[in-house]
Amino acid sequence: MSLKLYLAGPEVFLPNARHMLDAKAAMAREFGFEPICPGDVTIEPAPTRHEFGLKISAVDEGMMNRADGIIANLTPFRGIAADVGTAFELGYVCAQGKRVAAYTNMTANHFQRTREFYKGEIAEGPDGRKRGPDGLSLEDFDMIDNLMLHGGIERRGGFIAVHDAPPDALYTDLTAFRSCLDWYASR
């Protein structure tokens, strides 16, 4: 039985979503895995947009329930953090006790990105925490994203790949995705 891997990430939003999902699935099959991709199943029409969204949620959760593990693309999306849908899915699969791997195509870590968000205006408060001008504290834990995501993967023996993709290939470069496949194959 080949390992079933849920391929999570913001690829579904790309103009060439179908192409990217197919490329990731093909690469996973090369390694002998069975890819499970959101976007692979045609969702039946629904009376409202809202109900259509609920159907996609149901299909994607069903896919995770059938998977043995996940490869989550945590490359920052529309801001300094991972796509929240992917973060939800990573937490879901962690709770199920399944295998977890993730990657990011940006080498600047969570702290560096948050510092950049504040244009470097960071001050250390009396409590020893670094804070932005808005008073909100910054996590500085040498992690690729919020500690629940990075910690959730690392603490259960998962794998994290970091790759410096060219800006114009931030969501299409599959180098780090392949590293995750390599890791699954070596286990």
- Residue 92 buriedness (CB in 10 A; 0-12 / 13-18 / 19+): middle
Whichever of 96 and 183 has its CB closer to a copy of itself, that residue is: 96
Whose tokens are 């690829």? That residue is: 11
> Is residue 160 near a copy of itself by the rule CB under 8 A?
no
Choose the binding region for a copy of itself from 24-32, 85-93, 159-167, 174-182 (rule: CB under 8 A): 85-93
- Residue 28 buriedness (CB in 10 A; 0-12 / 13-18 / 19+): buried
Choose the binding region for a copy of itself from 29-37, 143-151, 159-167, 174-182 (rule: CB under 8 A): 143-151
Q: What are phi and psi of 49, to 5 degrees?
A: -55, -40
CA atoms within 13 A on the CB side of 133: 6
Among 2, 13, 26, 121, binds a copy of itself (CB under 8 A): 13
Q: Check: CB of residue 5 under 8 Å from CB of residue 33.
A: yes
Q: Check: CB of residue 17 under 8 Å from CB of residue 11.
A: yes
Choose the binding region for a copy of itself from 19-27, 28-36, 142-150, 157-165 (rule: CB under 8 A): 142-150
3-class state of residue 41 by DSSP: coil
Whichever of 17 and 162 has its CB closer to a copy of itself, that residue is: 17
> Is residue 172 near a copy of itself by the rule CB under 8 A?
no
> Is residue 145 near a copy of itself by the rule CB under 8 A?
yes
Whichever of 24 and 150 has its CB closer to a copy of itself, that residue is: 150
The CA distance from 50 to 101, in Å, is 31
Whichever of 94 and 181 has its CB closer to a copy of itself, that residue is: 94
CB of 106 to a copy of itself, least distance (A): 14
CB of 137 to a copy of itself, least distance (A): 5
The CA distance from 174 to 122, in Å, is 34
> Binding residues for a copy of itself, per CB under 8 A?
10, 12-15, 17, 48-50, 52-54, 56-58, 60-61, 64, 78-85, 87-96, 114, 117, 125, 131, 135-143, 145-152, 154-155
